[in-house]
Amino acid sequence: MDAEFVIGIDLGTTNSVLSHARLDADEPRVELLPVPQLVDAATVESRDELPSFLYLADSHQMGGGALDLPWNSGADFAVGHFARRQAAEAPHRTVAAAKSWLCHHGVDRRQPILPWGAPDEVRKVSPVTAARRYLEHLAAVWRLARPEAPVERQIVVLTVPASFDASARELSREAAVAAGWPEDLILLEEPQAAVYSWLAEAGEAWRKRLSLGDTLLVCDVGGGTTDLTLVEVSEEGGELSLRRKAVGDHLLVGGDNMDLALAHFVAGRFAEKGVTLDPWQSVALWHSCRDAKEALLADTGPETHAVTVLGRGSRVIGGTVSVEIAREEVSRFLVEGFFPQCKATDQPARNSQSGFRELGLPFEADAAITRHLAAFLQSHGSEGRPARPSHVLFNGGVFKAELLRAR
């Protein structure tokens, strides 16, 4: 039986998405498939995105159908929006950034090590298992929505960072196949997917927008990684064509680093109020700062946002403690910290350790994405001059904020 659909899976560090297009349509149109998921205990709603968080429930939450889904009952875990909410309340039971762990060579990625640093009484899962849980959920959503089109008979494309090495790609494939996706699924590099998306949107007009010899810089900054790619406009058979010219190193710097940096900043505000956060409150603060950043940097975001963490003692009124942070100060802090102005000859710092290694991931020592970009362009220039792209294509959740795109 021939495939009826091509299915696209964006397995992101922070959010995952499922899309599809009919192959028999005269003009195939890519559509998002809404993802039913837990948004609260015993409450299932559909969302366009599945937050890439895994919550490992304790025994008192496993009964009464609190974690049941339309296709599964009696589960002892949850993924998606509810899991993301639990990250701020029970960080020791919540797995985040599993995608970043898939490319961490300093650990055995098939061993149960997450949540990193969780107490012994909390059961743990491997990075591969965490990724599999998200992919299982998406496979179940497809089967529920399209029972007449078995997933194993469709063309399935899973995106991966261009800088993922062979082992990280194989682990991604392993997780997908274990989740029920077909073994012949296609791995597509994320910057390449971004170019395809732009080409589909532009149609044949792209040949008028680009000229022979132009260079396109794909700047992909997601939740966990930064991917830099140069694509060259060349000629083939008398027609313009696109050819990948260079791919940057795997850079473990992205939205997660911004959230962590903001958490360190806000922790200082708590300290000014005489509140010292313990390690698990600090992890909860990281998750709370992610929500604050997304709210404040939205194009129609509020001027201020409260960052709240659960209290750990009887002296905390109402069991929580919070501080207010302003849109203007967060914008300035993140722009200057991650996108500072720099010279074309600048290089990122290499001789200092990141202040964010308490979460177990080997984040970049220098969080300034602009300096990494300068180094990338230098390494792929000619005659002693850096490469000078003629066009820039932004990709990744970080660039949803107009402030960061403009910088």
Provide the pLDDT for residue 355: 47
Which CATH number applies to 5-184?
Answer: 3.30.420.40
- C-beta of residue 245 within 8 angstroms of C-beta of residue 388: no
> What residues are paired with 38 via a beta bridge?
44
Homologous superfamily in CATH for domain 205-407: ATPase, substrate binding domain, subdomain 4 (3.90.640.10)
pLDDT for 316: 46
| pLDDT 10s digits, 348-367 | 987 655 444 456 888 888 99
Taking Cα atoms as reference points, which of 202, 155, 178 lies closest to residue 8?
155
pLDDT digit string (tens) for 60-74? Answer: 766 678 999 999 998
Q: Which long-range contacts (CB under 8 A, 24 or more apart) does 55-58 make?
A: 55/79, 55/82, 55/83, 55/86, 55/87, 55/90, 55/93, 55/94, 55/95, 56/93, 56/94, 56/95, 56/115, 56/122, 56/123, 56/124, 56/125, 57/93, 58/93
Q: Which pLDDT belongs to residue 162?
A: 86
pLDDT confidence tier of residue 97, bands split at 50, 70 and 90: very high
Radius of gyration of the chain (CA): 22
More confident residue, 134 or 250: 134
The tokens of 61 are what?
């939450």
User: What average pLDDT is seen over the chain?
Assistant: 91
pTM of the model: 0.91
| Same fold flag, 5-184 and 205-407 | no
Residue 365 per-residue DSSP state = S
Query: Does the pLDDT at position 258 exceed 90?
Result: yes
* Per-domain boundaries in the chain: 5-184, 205-407
Range with lowest mean pLDDT among 104-118, 339-353, 368-382: 339-353
Strand residues in 165-205 grouped as ranges (E):
186-189
Range scoring the smallest mean pLDDT among 12-16, 26-30, 316-320: 316-320
C-alpha distances out from residue 25 to 1, 5, 154, 338, 353, Å: 17, 10, 15, 44, 53
The per-residue pLDDT for range 309-328, each reduced to its tens digit, is 887 654 444 468 889 999 99
Each residue's pLDDT tens digit, 364-394? 889 999 999 999 999 999 988 999 999 999 9
pLDDT value of residue 351: 63
**Region 71-83 average pLDDT:** 95
